[in-house]
Structure 1
Amino acid sequence: MNILELFIAYAFIGWIWETSYVSFKQKKYVNRGFLRAPFIPIYGFGATAMVLLMEALLPYLPASKTVALAFSIFYLGLCASFLEYGTSFLMEWALKARWWDYSKRKFNLHGRVALGPSIFWGIGGYVIWRYINGPIQSFYQMINPILLNTFLVMVYGMILVDAYFTLRELISLRSVVLRMQALLDDFVDQVDEGLDMIEENIGDFMEQIEAHVGLRKMLERGRKYARFYRNYPDVTTRKLPLVFKALRERLNR
């Protein structure tokens, strides 16, 4: 089992699934992913991890097929929840944004994971391991090893370059968000009416900031950040809601 091969396959399949689902919901094409290339790394990591976890679990599965199936789904759902929770926490800590939020779903934990999606990932993980992983490995075995290795080197090279520039964009976006929040805090301190007035007049507030602090140039240079808001229209933050509201409106003009 070649982990590098599986990662590429599942990152691509995840991109197809996610892009198709979101595009259907929004009734327009949405390249659902951080990268520009057609790969979503979290799907690659998640699906590959599930396959490896199931392989490790096989010797310990109960003899009953029904019990083994239920246990496998529970096991994979639990593992996927740990991965999803950890990813959500790290991304919010690093990028000051929450790219998915299950707060409105029943039986959620801090809005990062929820029972429904966990069950979905458990079932999906089992289907991947049981019915999809075999054909994928068989497909790879049909390809000439030299050709396959060349393909993997090219694809991983492309992903690394893509990830580098995407990470730079996200770090720059984070700096814009933090700077705007600092300006907002200073502005709040100078008005008697309080935060409600600023929220109701967020457009005027942004005009003042852009005029006096030079943020307009920063936003013009950062219009490429708008793709993150287009691809993830529900992205939110609990700590910086006004900044995200204003920034989304400016970048999507």
Structure 2
Amino acid sequence: MHLTFYELSAFFFIYGFLGWCTEVCFQALSRGKLINRGFLNGPICPIYGVSVVVIIWLLEPLAAHGVILFLGSVILCSFLEWLTGFILEKLFHQRWWDYSKEPFNIGGYICLRFSIMWGLACVFVVYIAHPTVAFLLSLVPHTLGPVILCILGAAFLADCAATIGTMIGLNKRLLHIEKTASRLREFSDDVTEVLYEGSIRAKDNAEKAKSELEEQSDEFREKLSKGKEELQIRARKKKQLAEEHRMELERKLTYGQQRLLKAFPGAGSTRYSEAMELLKQHIDRYKKQKGGKK
């Protein structure tokens, strides 16, 4: 089917917006929450726009063959979803959806259940939705349409740039958290080793001196106990300071970073997995505390 650049661009934004609406409704019904599910800040899911445009461009001529249209939609949409997930993970080291627990999945990027849903949705679009959308688009004045598309295109590119910046900032934040957690583990291991060696050394010294300094044993044990307590107090203070530093890093998330984590609760970092889990736990605790205060 021959489509002009104007039509391709218009359909991309229209179906990207409709896909965003679908995601919001799906999340509201399945999770009972109002969530901006899109990867971008604006009300658009590019994967829907791209997928439907590709289907219309390549497969609408096969509309007379429903089974072929369905199978072609399943294959093309699944490939685009796999490609999108793969590229996002490689670029930003984040996996924003994971179908690993779904049966018949490929790498967690796609699964049979959602691929079938993609196919059914595309059949619905080609037979029912698209004729109406194409008719409504034809009613838009040719002088006004390109202007609207230019505005939408500029906003879309700005949104993409902002989201990329958000992702880079999130990875930097996760790196700081990971380093802080690593220092905490190293410090904890050092303290454990010092306490262990100190205890063993003190025990050996105490046994050697027992026969010679029996009358001073009580004083020695008291000094040993005080020394241990002071070391433990210093260790707790240092650990508390490090923990406060880590929590401060977590609290400094931008709105965009918080929105992405809220929109994709199953997201995971392939590079900073531990830091991502710590971040999610802190956000959950913060939400509970905030809810309790209300």
Question: Into which bin does the TM-score normalised by the smaller protein fall?
Answer: 0.7 to 0.9
Q: Secondary structure at the match of 2:43?
A: coil
Aligned residue for 2:215? none
Match of 1:152 in 2: 149
Shift in CA distance, 93/179, structure 1 to aligned 2, threshold 3 Å: farther
2:273 corresponds to: 241
Residue matched to 1:33? 38
Root-mean-square deviation (Å): 2.6
Give aligned-pair identity as a percent. 24
* 1:163 positional shift: 2.0
SS of residue paired to 2:95: coil
Q: 1 CA distance for matches of 2:67 and 2:123?
A: 10
Give, as a single letter, the amino acid of the residue that structure 2 aligns with 1:53: L
Give yes or no for contact 1:206–1:246 (8 Å, CA) kept in 2: no
Are the counterparts in 2 of residues 226 and 248 from structure 1 also a CA contact under 8 Å?
Answer: no
Is contact 2:74–2:116 with CA below 8 Å preserved after alignment?
yes
Cα drift, residue 130 of structure 1: 2.4
- How many residues align? The count is 233
Once the two structures are superposed, the pairs formed by residues 48-63 of structure 1 within 5 Å of their partners are 48-55=53-60, 58=62
Tell whether 2:90 aligns with 1:85.
no
- Pairing 1:228–2:233 present: no
1:15 aligns with 2:23: no
Which amino acid in 2 is paired with 1:147? L
Letter of the 1:127 counterpart: F
Q: Determine helix, strand or coil for the equivalent of 2:59.
A: helix
1:189 Cα deviation from its structure 2 partner: 4.9
Q: In structure 2, how many angstroms separate the alpha carbons of the residues matched to 1:69 and 1:126?
A: 8
Distance 1:99 1:145 in 2: 38
**What is the CA-CA distance between 1:190 and the residue it aligns to?**
5.2
* Closer, same or farther: CA 75–183 of 1 in aligned 2, 3 Å: same
Bigger mean CA deviation after superposition, 243-252 or 130-139: 243-252
Amino acid at match of 1:31: N
Q: Which amino acid aligns with 2:150?
A: V
Corresponding residue number in structure 1 for 2:126: 129
Task: Tell me the secondary structure at the aligned position of residue 268 of structure 2.
Answer: coil
Please list, as runs of the form range in 1=range in 2, the aligned pairs for 1:116-195 lying within 5 A after superposition: 116-189=113-186, 191-192=188-189
State the match for 2:52 in structure 1.
47
Q: Deviations over 1:191-250 (max 9, x none)?
A: 558xxxxxxxxxx99955454xx5555444424221111111222245533211211233
Residue 5 of structure 1 deviates from its aligned partner by 0.5
The answer on whether the counterparts of 2:177 and 2:249 sit within 8 Å (CA) in structure 1 is no
Per-residue deviation, 1:118: 1.0
Letter aligned with residue 46 of structure 2: P
CA distance in structure 2 between the aligned counterparts of 1:136 and 1:123, rounded to whole angstroms: 18
Q: Tell me, what secondary structure is at the counterpart of 1:145?
A: coil
Q: From the superposition, tell whether residues 152 and 25 of structure 1 become closer, same or farther in structure 2 (CA, over 3 Å).
A: same
Contact 1:50 1:76 survives alignment (8 Å): yes
State the TM-score, normalizing by the size of structure 1.
0.81
| CA 164–210 in structure 1, closer or farther in 2 if over 3 Å, else same | farther
